[in-house]
Amino acid sequence: MTDEIIKVPDIGSDGAEVIEVCVGAGDQVEAEDSLIVLESDKATMEVPAPRNGRIVEVLLKVGDKVSEGDDLLKMAAEDGAAAAPAETPEASAPAAETPVAAPAPEAAPAAPAASVIKEVRVPDIGSDNVPVIEVSVKPGDEISEEDTLVTLESDKATMEVPSPFSGVVTEVKVKEGDILSQGDLIIMMEVAGAAPAPQTAAPSQAPVADKPVAASQPEAPAAAQPQKAAESSRELEQANKSVHAGPAVRKIAREFGVDLSLVRGSGPRSRILKEDVQNYVKAKLSEPKSAQVSGGLGIPQMPAVDFSKWGEVEEKELTRLRQIAAKNFQRSWLNVPHVTQFDESDITELEDFRKSQKAAAQARGSKLTPLPFMLKACAYALKEMPQFCASLSPEVDRIIYKKYVNIGVAVDTPDGLLVPVIKDVDKKGLWELADECVALAEKARNKQLKPDEMQGGCFTISSLGSVGGTAFTPIVNAPEVAILGISKAEIKPKWNGSEFSPRLMLPLSLSYDHRAINGAEAARFTALLGQLLSDIRNILL
């Protein structure tokens, strides 16, 4: 019976790299079990076994570039008995082919014996002179078979070298930064009840490995079935492909359904370690239910693009503030159905009054911009229309009306946007609000805001009036339900019934959460603001 050569199927792209070999010579696989994982610039694909059978020889290794039709592996016929192991190179001279790294073959069961000291050496890792980037064990550690001993990183792949035995580490022969090649000694370990073995086995004499390790190591123990190429795991693998993590970590991530791109790596060069995945899962499990209600939309990640292909680039880390703001914006944008109502308000008289008070403001050491007037008008409107001074419950089955009127003001700072909150705006006079605006904006720009000065908001004003623009669509500062954007006031010709007259018009852009507020309410809100601002005496009513 001749062995069948399994070839790389149509992978939908010109070429792909082998990033994982899930099987080794001697493995028994079932149809659809993953054989290898390929990664092209567009996708990560698992190549499933076409049928049940025994792997005779793997013809590819991690890092190989493949295309459709390339030889992948040799598979014995399904009735397997015909393809005698002795016919395969592995079976005939396994010790010479594959050093340490896996338990002694079960075909040669050893008589129970007292514990023995065994060497573990670097297996065939597909390349020589590979640096150690992490040593995961120390003398005295009790480890299990398949536990990671060291992690090696070549220019092609990150590889974890697992322990071929369970036992106690007696000596560690390598350290971070060492350069290793096949056959180099990694650790000595005491293995209980193992068959006596040479104490210093060279690679070729080392205990037989039935499969290569490193990045190509199947992540499940030999006894376990190779993992099924389920659709969801494929999607997850795709999301996980660009992260810096070894196979064992990827395995855990797959088992727990963790998208590794969301996990912060604490290892060297931000590599994701097992503990990082464990901590991520712990953190997710301890998240309050409400925080989970709005997540999990399955939104695809943005692809990583190498912009340097088209010209010079410079990469800079975003400030912490910008990172936090980015998350908040995205969370709000994804959870809140936004609508923006545009309007404009005639502030001609208001501006005359404001200008008449400028000197008085200066004398007070303050500054009277249109903002305090906006705050006052908004506070009035929020009391008139309490649905704008409210929040929805995370389950979106209740609305919580706030009986206080705290308004946030977006402040542009060199590090990013901050939103200090002015408390009880409805109870404060214009001068008090003007002073507070100046003080809070100053504190924001000097990074002196205290957490409680940025909390408790009911509504937000984002004023770009001093910068320019005719309108914009601000993002609701969820869980608030509305935000007022203000653009630059401009003199426009307005028809007064008999003629055009020049009026100073202030553009208003009210974005709102359409789950809490309907369009007519939003139009009434901006109309009310317009009315209040066109004659500020209305605020006194």
List the 130-135 sheet strands across, edge first. 158-162, 148-153, 130-135, 179-180
Question: What's the start-to-end Cα distance of the chain, in Å?
Answer: 98
Distance between CA atoms of residues 278 and 252, nearest Å: 9
Considering the complex, state which of residue 328 and residue 391 has its C-beta at the smaller distance from ligand CAO. 328
CB of 303 to ligand CAO, least distance (A): 26
Q: Look-up: residue for tokens 């290569």?
A: 212
Neighbours of 455 (CB within 10 A): 13
Q: Are the C-beta atoms of residues 215 and 158 closer than 8 Å to each other? A: yes
Label residue 477 exposed, middle or buried (CB < 10 Å: 0-12, 13-18, 19+): buried
CB nearer ligand CAO, residue 99 or residue 370: 370
Instruction: Pull the structure tokens for residue 265.
Output: 């790596």
Pick the closer one to ligand CAO by CB: 417 or 536: 417
CB of 468 to ligand CAO, least distance (A): 9
> Exposed/middle/buried for 505, CB within 10 Å: 0-12, 13-18, 19+?
buried
Distance between CA atoms of 463 and 508, rounded to whole angstroms?
Answer: 10
Residue 2 or 319: the one with the smaller Cβ distance to ligand CAO is 319
DSSP 3-state assignment of 252? helix
Cα dist from 476 to 179, 212, 328, 333, whole Å: 54, 54, 10, 8
Token digits of residue 183: 């056959």
CA atoms within 13 A on the CB side of 402: 22
Nearer Cβ to ligand CAO, position 279 or 328?
A: 328
DSSP letters spanning 48-74: E-SSSEEEEEE---TT-EE-TT-EEEE
CB nearer to ligand CAO: pick between 88 and 460 = 460
Q: List Cα–Cα distances, 272 to 116, 268, 269, in angstroms.
A: 34, 9, 9
Chain position whose Cβ is nearest to ligand CAO: 465
Can you tell me the distance from the alpha carbon of 152 to that of 180, in angstroms, rounded to the nearest whole number? 8
Inter-CA distances, 429 with 57, 105, 448, Å: 83, 85, 24
The catalytic site residues sit at 514
Half-sphere exposure of 208 (CA within 13 A, CB side): 18
Q: Do 115 and 193 meet the contact criterion of CB atoms below 8 Å apart?
A: yes
Nearer to ligand CAO by Cβ, of 184 and 329: the residue is: 329
**Which residues sit at the interface with ligand CAO, rule CB under 6 A?**
369-371, 409-412, 417, 437, 441, 462-466, 474-475, 486, 488-489, 506
- Distance in Å, CB of 465 to ligand CAO, minimum: 2
For the record, the structure tokens of 54 come out as: 């025994």
Q: In angstroms, rounded to a whole number, what is the distance separating the alpha carbons of residues 241 and 439?
A: 48
237 SS3 class: helix
**Contact indicator for 433, 375 with CB cutoff of 8 Å:** yes
Place of tokens 């709005």: 294
All residues at 6 or more sequence positions from 245 whose CB lies less than 8 Å from its CB, including other chains: 158, 253, 260, 265, 271, 272
The nearer residue to ligand CAO, 28 or 413, going by C-beta atoms, is 413
